[in-house]
Amino acid sequence: MLNFLKRQKPINKEFGMGCHKDPLDLRDRRYDEAVAGEAPMTDKDWEEGFDIEKELDFTLPIKDQNSSMSCVFQAISYYVGVLNLAEVKIYKEVSAKAGYSQIYIPGGGGAYIREGIKLVVDWGALLETSVRSYENNKPPSETFMRDLSWKNEEADKLAKVLKAKEYRVITACDNMDLFARAIKNNHGVVGGLYVGNSSTWRTNEPKPTTREFGHALYYGKFGVDELGKYIATPNSWGWRGDDKLHPDGWQKLRQDYFTGILQFNPWVLVDRPNQMAINPEIQKILEKYEKCIVIEGTGIGRKGILVNNKLREIIENRESSACLYSLANNNLGITVSTEIFNQLPKDVVF
């Protein structure tokens, strides 16, 4: 590992080795074996295309990793959120930080996709409401994304809800049809792509360049338009705007990205049902009542205040300070049942 890291080029300010090529592992399950009996993709399949947003009737919020090297779990968090949507019919953004902070490579940063999807299978994932991936509501730094102070036994238990069943690898080179099939059959693909410092990489029609840096992407659409076949990605560098060929603002990668050696380590996740139900009332309270007073309407009448999506119970003689804190943030409060009060994730006292 140390020799591998020494061989990496220095990270420049705009692009870095956010996605490292997974070492060969003969134990990896191959996706082509899972679909061996299916008919090959046809021109009609490509013309019909597939659009994950239309298929699941939602609009995917575009992530922005900023200068961090967190692209691997930015891409995976898209994927897990989509898989969860397919099951529960409500899109809930999944935290990129909760995953990246556990798998990043010390030193220059970045991660292996295999380590990220293995984490989803073995540990799970957390919603953005549990671990924020934005620093003071702004795109994050690398230091912020590596922070593990959020991790505790309660978070580990909650993460199990979004565990996946297994992962399979796709042979990267000359396999555009298999990418498309996996997107349609498995709600997407996460893969690595070699990129360079090309001005087109920030546009909706990036062009292949020299293999300088590794970047991870979630792919969720394919089809044919006036420029030919494409596979599309939202990327994780913020909203780029839309146009006639890209009404959704997604980037379209053309066949020249799939016929050479630019693609590496594409993976498919096979989902399994959530291990326990996510209480929608709890999620709503966490999303809506940040910095608000929470009062137990029954029982002994405990009081708390929500700070960073966790309830800090208000101890004796601190009620006035808590009320001033809430009012200073222009927030009110909510009264809940004892059951809901007990289910809210807890933090230190206020």
Q: Are 188 and 220 in contact (CB under 8 A)?
A: yes
pLDDT confidence of residue 314: 87
Domain assignment present for 349: no
Q: Which of 271, 304, 321 is the last residue before a domain boundary?
A: 271
State the average pLDDT over residues 295-306: 84
Distances (CA, A) of 82 to 93, 141, 219: 9, 25, 11
State the average pLDDT over residues 155-181: 91
Residues 212, 82: one domain? Answer: yes
Domain assignment present for 153: yes
Side-chain-side CA neighbours of 191 within 13 Å: the count stands at: 33
Residues 208, 331: one domain? Answer: no
For residue 12, is pLDDT > 80?
A: no
- By three-state DSSP, how is residue 42 classified? coil
Q: Which of 249, 271, 293 is the last residue before a domain boundary?
A: 271
State the average pLDDT over residues 296-305: 83
Could you read off the pLDDT of 175-225 as tens digits, one per residue? 899 999 999 999 999 999 998 877 788 899 999 988 788 999 999 999 999
For residue 107, is pLDDT > 60?
A: yes
Residues 250, 307: one domain? Answer: no
For residue 277, is pLDDT > 60?
A: no
Residue whose entry in the numeric block shows the structure tokens 């990220």? 116
| pTM, two decimal places | 0.77
Q: What percent of the chain has pLDDT over 70?
A: 93
Q: What's the number of domains the chain is made of?
A: 2
Q: Give phi and psi for 48, each to the nearest 5.
A: -70, -35
Which residues face 219 on adjacent strands? Answer: 189
Residue ranges making up the domain that contains 303: 280-343
pLDDT confidence of residue 350: 67
The domain that contains 172 carries what CATH number? 3.90.70.10
For residue 1, is pLDDT > 70?
A: no
Residues 136, 178: one domain? Answer: yes
Residues 52, 149: one domain? Answer: yes
Across all residues in the chain, what is the average pLDDT?
88
Residues 84, 193: one domain? Answer: yes
State the average pLDDT over residues 157-166: 91
Provide long-range contacts, Cβ within 8 A and 24+ apart, for 93-96: 93/61, 93/127, 93/128, 93/129, 94/125, 94/126, 94/127, 94/128, 94/162, 95/125, 95/126, 95/127, 95/128, 95/130, 95/131, 95/132, 95/133, 96/63, 96/65, 96/70, 96/133, 96/145, 96/236
Query: What region, left, alpha or beta, does residue 109 occupy, with left being phi > 0 and alpha being psi -120 to 50 degrees?
Result: left
Name the burial class of residue 320, with classes exposed (0-12), middle (13-18) and buried (19+) by CB atoms within 10 angstroms of its CB. Answer: exposed
Q: Which of 271, 291, 315 is the last residue before a domain boundary?
A: 271
Could you read off the pLDDT of 59-94 as tens digits, one per residue? 999 999 999 999 999 999 999 999 999 998 889 999
Residues 149, 96: one domain? Answer: yes
Report how far residue 273's alpha carbon sits from residue 267's, in angstroms, rounded to the nearest whole number.
Answer: 20
Residues 35, 93: one domain? Answer: yes
Residue 160's nearest CA partner among 280, 309, 274, 284 is 274
